[in-house]
Structure 1
Amino acid sequence: MTRLFNDPSLFADEMIEGFVAANHFQVRRVSGGVVRSTRSTPGSVAVVIGGGSGHYPAFGGLVGQGLAHGAAMGNLFASPSAQQVYSVSTAANNGGGLLLSYGNYAGDVLHFTQAQERLRGEGVDCRTVVVTDDIASATVAEKHKRRGIAGDLTVFKAAAAAAEAGYSIADVERVAILANERTRSIGVAFTGCTLPGADTPLFTVPEGRMAIGMGIHGEPGLRETDIPSADGLAELLVSELLAELPDGIADARGERVGVILNGLGSVKYEELFVVYRRTAALLEQAGLTVIDPEVGELVTSFDMAGVSLTLFWLDDELETFWRAPADTPAYRKGSVGASEQMDDSEMHDSVASDAQITPGSAESHDAAATALAAIEAVLAVIEINADELGRIDAVAGDGDHGVGMQRGARAAAVAARDADARGAGVETLLVSAADAWADRAGGTSGALWGVMLRALAAELGDTDAPTAMAVSAGVGAARTGIQSFGKAEVGDKTMVDAIVPFAESLATEVAAGVPLTAAWSTAADAATDAARATADLLPRMGRARPHAEKSLGTPDAGAHSFALIVQAVAAVFAAENGENQND
């Protein structure tokens, strides 16, 4: 378990501060993560990686010469926000284009895609290669759905070495795609991990058993078995990987492979070397030539006891990049050339932190005050229910929903108070809250609440007093935005199962002439009933999907938190009911 921490909600931030202090000759901190503290070649491609914290050396530990130019670092097991990715990418940009690369997880895909769209809108040639190396997480036919685990390193390393060699952005992208296509990994776990402040592990494995194919957040894999000997484990891992050869390789004999035997947190180096002894012999027996094997911790999961094996099938170009030198806080190979440190005048964030607030009309500012009261009520209900939301989420997910909602709601309330104090209209206030929520919460829920609040804000504006029809239209736009962005449908056991009946009920009531306060209350009840009913559903998407059967009897955490929020807002409207009955 994690024993050393202060405030669990600040753990990731304090960890990054200490990491940078210990490695300032290689990395410097920027909003959202870290970038190199050494100069890169002007006009060259920059490789930006990222993901949730809790997996060190991934991701900040892989920033430095010969490897990544920057890493967006989210909260524990939560994707970095779009703002974090954008900030790190902007600071890392050398003028030759940006390649974003990360493991294939829903929150990461949502946030990195948003950041890419923003960068492209500013004229930056920004491209993405998502890592999908874990063979246990999907079949060959659906390998695009596979998650990224320790094979992240091979893709990051190949892309970054190509950038260092002066490749164009198109060729860096090509190399990264090829590296991903030629990387296969599989992992096993003996125990779960415990996050800072938690009393129990995030997930468990029965005593004396081993989960084959378990993911780095506790996602289930193929099956469970008794824990074998070190040789038995090597034989299992090698046989699983050799059973699936990359396209274009018909026979393993005569091929070259890079190898990563990765410890996931609690398995010690001495144990890894015992396993690798047999692994090396098996690969040799299969006719393979091993190139520069890596044995150690490259992608971890806090104190999870587990091991993963990665095979990186090389051609001449990929072998050159796999062997290329690198010098980062956690990964060193060969000898890199001398590089100048950036001076203090260059070490600053290029992204402004204070948004400009244009005051709204008197009518809209009055509405903003109501919106602020609603956000304060949202924060209050989330604070009360954060532990329960985490418990619900842990049944079939990674247990971070309560903490993520708490971080998001706190940030939204701070931003909303500031906007209100500066005379903002309701649209500006909600946009400020949306951006703060998405940025601070990270993860899938952070992205979705950012989308939802922005969609509502756009319908309300900063000029007129919002009408019931405008609020209903805003909620409808939020629903559309959520479904378009997250791709979920009713029945998938997500927040959509609550927001759709809420939006439909509100639209029906308002169209019938029911005042907003009463219409909202009726819609909130519909959302609550729908959220409760998700207990009978099996998840069909997201990180909970592989845990489908475990989630029966438990409502979806996102749907439940949505219902809590709209009920809290209903209470705010009711408190103002006498004055705003006809709005």
Structure 2
Amino acid sequence: MTRLWNEPENFADEMTDGFARANARWVRRVSGGVTRSTRAEEPTVSVVIGGGSGHYPAFGGLVGHGLAHGAAMGNLFASPSARQVESVARASEQGKGVLLSYGNYAGDVLHFTEAQDKLRADGIDCRTVTVTDDIFSAPAGEQEKRRGIAGDLTVFKAAGAAAAAGYDMDGVERAAILANDRTRTMGVAFTGCTLPGAAEPLFTVPEGRMAIGLGIHGEPGIDEVDIPSADGLAELFIERLLDSAEIPDGVSVEGARVVPILNGLGSVKNEELYVVFDRIATLLEDAGAVIVDPHVGEFCTSFDMAGVSLTLLWLDDELETLWRAPADTPAFRTGSVDTSAQVERDAIDDSVAEEVIPDASDESRRAAAVVVTALEAIVSVIDVNAEELGRIDAIAGDGDHGIGMKRGSHAALTAARSSHSNGAGAQSVLASAADEWSNRAGGTSGAIWAVILRTVGERLGNTAPVTAAAVADGLDGASTAVMDFGKAKVGDKTMVDALVPFAETLRQRVGSGDTLAVAWSAASTAAQDAADGTADMMPGMGRARSHGDKALGVADPGAVSLAMIAAAIKDVLPATSGL
């Protein structure tokens, strides 16, 4: 388990600060992560990678010559926010465009895509290549649904080397796609990992058993078997990864050149890995493959998880050149890098512009005070229930929902109080809260709650009359916006399963003449009933989708937290004025 931390909610920020100070030769701290501290004399396409913290050397450890130009580093096991990604991308961009690359997780896709849209709106050529190497997270014919694990390294390396070689944006994107198409990974675990401050690991494996198909965010495995010998594990890896369905198009194993990467996930020692690799090498050679530049060590970890993954990158001539190209980063170095042509970068201005408060009516300012009171209620209920939300999230997910909701709600309240004290109306207060919830929480829930708050604010405005109908319209709009944004629908076992009945009930009751407090009470009950009902559903989206039956019988944490929040706000509405 992790032992050294101050306040758990500050762990990621403090870790990033310390990492940047310890590796100033390669990186410098910017808002949202790190960027290179030097630049080449001639500008290139910039490769910006990222994801949640807790996976070192991914992601900051892979920033440097021949690899990434910047890394957006989110909270523990949570995607960086759109603002963090945008900040790192702008600090890393050199005028030749930005390629974003990251593991294929719902929260990462939401936030990186939002950042990409903002960069494109400013005329920056921005592309995305998601990593989808994990063979257990979706069938072979649905590779676009697979998550990214240790295979991140091969894709990042191909893209970074292509950029360093002077490829244009089309070429860098093509190289990254090719590397992803030719990369496959399988992982196993013997014990789960423990987040800083947590009393228990995110999942457990019975004594003498091994979980197969785990994720790198503390997600439990998809299957369990008895712990094999080192040779037995090697044989399992090779059997699954050399299955005909997993051999990339255009590759014939006999005579193929392959890079094997045996990755320790946190607590398995290198000595053990070498024992496993000895048998892996024999099996690959027996199958007729030619081993090229193998790597054994830690490349994508999960805190203290005792686990191992094997990645195979099937080479062609171009990929072999890119893989062997020199790289010099804090955690990954290969070949000889000529640093004489690199120069110190100018100072980077990543300061946040001072908030501009639009004019607001007195009525809207009174409504803004109600918003602050509601956020206070949200913070209180999340603080009390954060540990339980994390517990149910860990059953089939990554266990970070409670931490993310706590960070997000606290940041939203602080921002709302500041805006309100400066005379902001309802829309401006909700917009400030939305931005900070997304920025501090990251992850899927951070993005979704930002959409909810921002949409409600847009419907309320800063000068229009604030009525029960306006609130109901705002939440109805938020329900639609969340489904459009995250692509989830009722029945997918997500927050949407509670949000939709809540919004529909509120709209119907307000439309029939109920006061907001009465209508909200009925809607809160509908949300709670719907959240309870998610226990009987199979997940259709998110990280839990890969775990099928493990999620059955447990309510969705996003739906549960929404119902908690609805109930908490219900209790403060009768005591407020202005709505």
Please say whether Structure 1 and Structure 2 have the same fold, judged by a TM-score greater than 0.5. yes
Q: Which shows bigger deviation, 287-296 or 106-115?
A: 287-296
Equivalence for 2:497: 497
* Mapped partners of 1:464, 1:73: distance in 2: 39
Equivalence for 1:256: 257
Equivalence for 1:198: 198
**CA displacement at 1:220 relative to structure 2:** 4.5
**CA displacement at 1:25 relative to structure 2:** 1.0
CA contact (8 A) 2:99 2:127 kept: yes
Q: Which shows bigger deviation, 360-369 or 264-273?
A: 360-369
* Structure 2, gaps ≥5 residues long: none
DSSP 3-state at the match of 1:154: helix
* Mapped partners of 1:427, 1:171: distance in 2: 44
Q: In the alignment, residue 344 of structure 2 is paired with which amino acid?
A: M
Equivalence for 2:344: 342
**CA displacement at 1:42 relative to structure 2:** 4.7
Q: Which shows bigger deviation, 508-517 or 540-549?
A: 540-549
**CA displacement at 1:553 relative to structure 2:** 3.3
CA contact (8 A) 1:42 1:94 kept: no
Q: Which shows bigger deviation, 222-231 or 254-263?
A: 222-231
- The size of the alignment, in residue pairs, is 577
Equivalence for 2:160: 160
CA contact (8 A) 1:396 1:547 kept: yes
CA contact (8 A) 1:193 1:201 kept: yes
Equivalence for 1:73: 73
Equivalence for 1:305: 306
* Mapped partners of 1:439, 1:354: distance in 2: 16
Q: Which shows bigger deviation, 487-496 or 434-443?
A: 487-496
* Mapped partners of 1:446, 1:538: distance in 2: 23
CA contact (8 A) 2:218 2:394 kept: no
* Mapped partners of 2:212, 2:521: distance in 1: 48
**CA displacement at 1:330 relative to structure 2:** 0.4
DSSP 3-state at the match of 1:206: coil
CA contact (8 A) 1:376 1:413 kept: yes
Q: Which shows bigger deviation, 457-466 or 388-397?
A: 388-397
**CA displacement at 1:299 relative to structure 2:** 0.4
Equivalence for 2:561: 561
Equivalence for 2:334: 333
**CA displacement at 1:286 relative to structure 2:** 1.8
Equivalence for 2:270: 269
* Mapped partners of 1:139, 1:82: distance in 2: 30
* Mapped partners of 1:423, 1:408: distance in 2: 23
DSSP 3-state at the match of 1:292: coil
After superposition, give the CA deviation of every residue in 1:139-178 in whole Å (9 maximum; x if it has no partner). Answer: 1111111111111000000001000111111111011101
DSSP 3-state at the match of 1:194: coil
CA contact (8 A) 2:137 2:146 kept: yes
After superposition, give the CA deviation of every residue in 1:421-480 in whole Å (9 maximum; x if it has no partner). Answer: 111111011000000000100111001000111111111111123122211111011000
**CA displacement at 1:389 relative to structure 2:** 1.4
After superposition, give the CA deviation of every residue in 1:110-151 in whole Å (9 maximum; x if it has no partner). Answer: 111111111111111100000001111111111111111111
After superposition, give the CA deviation of every residue in 1:293-343 in whole Å (9 maximum; x if it has no partner). Answer: 111100011111111111111111111100000110000001111154525
Q: Structure 1 pair 447/159, CA: closer, same or farther in 2 (3 Å)?
A: same
* Mapped partners of 2:550, 2:135: distance in 1: 22
DSSP 3-state at the match of 2:206: coil
**CA displacement at 1:221 relative to structure 2:** 4.5
Equivalence for 1:380: 380
After superposition, give the CA deviation of every residue in 1:362-388 in whole Å (9 maximum; x if it has no partner). Answer: 222121111111111111111121112
Identity %: 63
**CA RMSD, 1 decimal:** 1.5
CA contact (8 A) 1:457 1:474 kept: yes
DSSP 3-state at the match of 2:385: helix
Alignment of 1:182-197 (within 5 A): 182-197=182-197
* Mapped partners of 2:188, 2:256: distance in 1: 25
DSSP 3-state at the match of 1:186: strand
* Mapped partners of 1:545, 1:171: distance in 2: 34
CA contact (8 A) 1:42 1:95 kept: no
Q: Which shows bigger deviation, 379-388 or 240-249?
A: 240-249
Equivalence for 2:320: 319
CA contact (8 A) 1:31 1:349 kept: no
TM-score (norm 1): 0.96
DSSP 3-state at the match of 2:136: helix
CA contact (8 A) 2:194 2:200 kept: yes
1:538 pairs with 2:538: yes
* Mapped partners of 1:394, 1:189: distance in 2: 15
CA contact (8 A) 2:202 2:219 kept: no
DSSP 3-state at the match of 2:543: coil
Alignment of 1:24-63 (within 5 A): 24-63=24-63
CA contact (8 A) 2:78 2:442 kept: yes
Q: Which shows bigger deviation, 83-92 or 283-292?
A: 283-292
Alignment of 1:122-133 (within 5 A): 122-133=122-133
**CA displacement at 1:487 relative to structure 2:** 1.6
CA contact (8 A) 2:218 2:302 kept: no
CA contact (8 A) 2:100 2:127 kept: yes
* Mapped partners of 1:42, 1:377: distance in 2: 53
DSSP 3-state at the match of 2:38: coil
Q: In the alignment, residue 152 of structure 2 is paired with which amino acid?
A: D
TM-score (norm 2): 0.97
* Mapped partners of 1:82, 1:41: distance in 2: 29
Q: In the alignment, residue 25 of structure 2 is paired with which amino acid?
A: F
Q: In the alignment, residue 473 of structure 2 is paired with which amino acid?
A: A
DSSP 3-state at the match of 1:16: helix
CA contact (8 A) 2:220 2:397 kept: no
CA contact (8 A) 1:136 1:221 kept: no
Q: Which shows bigger deviation, 372-381 or 315-324?
A: 372-381
**CA displacement at 1:570 relative to structure 2:** 1.8
CA contact (8 A) 1:51 1:108 kept: yes
CA contact (8 A) 1:364 1:464 kept: yes
DSSP 3-state at the match of 2:39: coil
Q: In the alignment, residue 458 of structure 1 is paired with which amino acid?
A: E
DSSP 3-state at the match of 2:504: helix
Q: Which shows bigger deviation, 318-327 or 359-368?
A: 359-368
**CA displacement at 1:399 relative to structure 2:** 1.4
Q: In the alignment, residue 377 of structure 1 is paired with which amino acid?
A: A
DSSP 3-state at the match of 2:291: strand
DSSP 3-state at the match of 1:531: helix
DSSP 3-state at the match of 1:228: coil
* Mapped partners of 1:304, 1:94: distance in 2: 38
